[in-house]
Structure 1
Amino acid sequence: MIMMVINKNKLKKIIVFILIVLFIIAGIIYTVKNKTLDTMDILDLAGNNQPYTMGTNENSNYVAITCNVDLGWEDEYIQKILEILDKENVKITFAVTGKWAEKNEDKLLQMKEKGHEIANHGYQHLNYDTLSYDENLNQIKKSKDIIDSITKTESRFFQAPSGAFGDETVKAANDLGYICYKWDVDTIDWMDKDNPQNIINRIKKKDIKNGSIVLMHPTNATATCLGDIISIIRDKGYVPGKLSDVFSK
Structure 2
Amino acid sequence: MVLMVVSKKKLKKIIIFILILAFIIGGIAYILKNKTQDTMNLLDLAQNNQPYTMGTAQNSGHVAITCNVDLGWEDEYIEGILEVLDKENVKITFAVTGKWAEKNKDMLLKIQQKGHEIANHGYQHINYDTLSYDENFNEIKKSQDIIDAATKQKSKFFQAPSGAFCDDTVKAANDLGYICYKWDVDTIDWMDKDNPDKIIERIKSKDIKDGSIVLMHPTKATTMCLDDIISIIRTRGYVPGKLSDVFNEQ
- CA drift of 1:39 comes to 5.9
Q: Are the equivalent residues in 1 in contact too, given 2:43–2:56 (CA < 8 A)? A: no
Q: Are the equivalent residues in 1 in contact too, given 2:57–2:247 (CA < 8 A)? A: yes
Instruction: State whether structure 2 residue 116 is matched by structure 1 residue 116.
Output: yes
Q: Distance in 2 between matches of 1:112 and 1:46?
A: 27
* 3-state DSSP of counterpart to 1:47: helix
* 3-state DSSP of counterpart to 2:71: coil
- Report runs of 4+ in structure 1 exceeding 6 Å deviation: none
Instruction: State whether structure 2 residue 26 is matched by structure 1 residue 56.
Output: no
Structure 2 residue identity aligned to 1:132:
S
* 3-state DSSP of counterpart to 2:198: helix
Q: Distance in 2 between matches of 1:175 and 1:52?
A: 16
- CA drift of 1:233 comes to 0.1
Q: CA RMSD in A?
A: 1.9
* 3-state DSSP of counterpart to 2:41: coil
Q: Are residues 39 and 180 of structure 1, via their aligned partners in 2, closer, same or farther at CA, if it must alter by over 3 Å?
A: farther
Consecutive unaligned residues in structure 1, runs of 5 or more? 1-28
Match of 2:5 in 1: none
* Aligned ranges 1:1-249 → 2 under 5 Å: 41=41, 43-44=43-44, 47-249=47-249
Structure 1 residue identity aligned to 2:122:
G
Q: Distance in 2 between matches of 1:226 and 1:40?
A: 31
Q: Deviations over 1:12-41 (max 9, x none)?
A: xxxxxxxxxxxxxxxxx89x87xxxx9672
Q: Distance in 1 between matches of 2:62 and 2:114?
A: 19
Q: Are residues 42 and 117 of structure 1, via their aligned partners in 2, closer, same or farther at CA, if it must alter by over 3 Å?
A: closer
Q: Are the equivalent residues in 1 in contact too, given 2:68–2:215 (CA < 8 A)? A: yes
Q: Deviations over 1:50-93 (max 9, x none)?
A: 00000001111000000000000000000000010000000000
Q: Are the equivalent residues in 1 in contact too, given 2:42–2:54 (CA < 8 A)? A: no
TM-score, with structure 1 as normaliser: 0.84
Q: Are the equivalent residues in 2 in contact too, given 1:128–1:161 (CA < 8 A)? A: yes
Q: Distance in 1 between matches of 2:170 and 2:132?
A: 11
Consecutive unaligned residues in structure 2, runs of 5 or more? 1-31
Q: Are residues 42 and 226 of structure 1, via their aligned partners in 2, closer, same or farther at CA, if it must alter by over 3 Å?
A: closer
Q: Are the equivalent residues in 2 in contact too, given 1:43–1:50 (CA < 8 A)? A: no
Match of 1:25 in 2: none
Identity score, percent: 80
- CA drift of 1:241 comes to 0.1
* 3-state DSSP of counterpart to 2:60: coil
Greater gyration radius: 2
Q: Distance in 2 between matches of 1:241 and 1:39?
A: 22
TM-score, with structure 2 as normaliser: 0.83
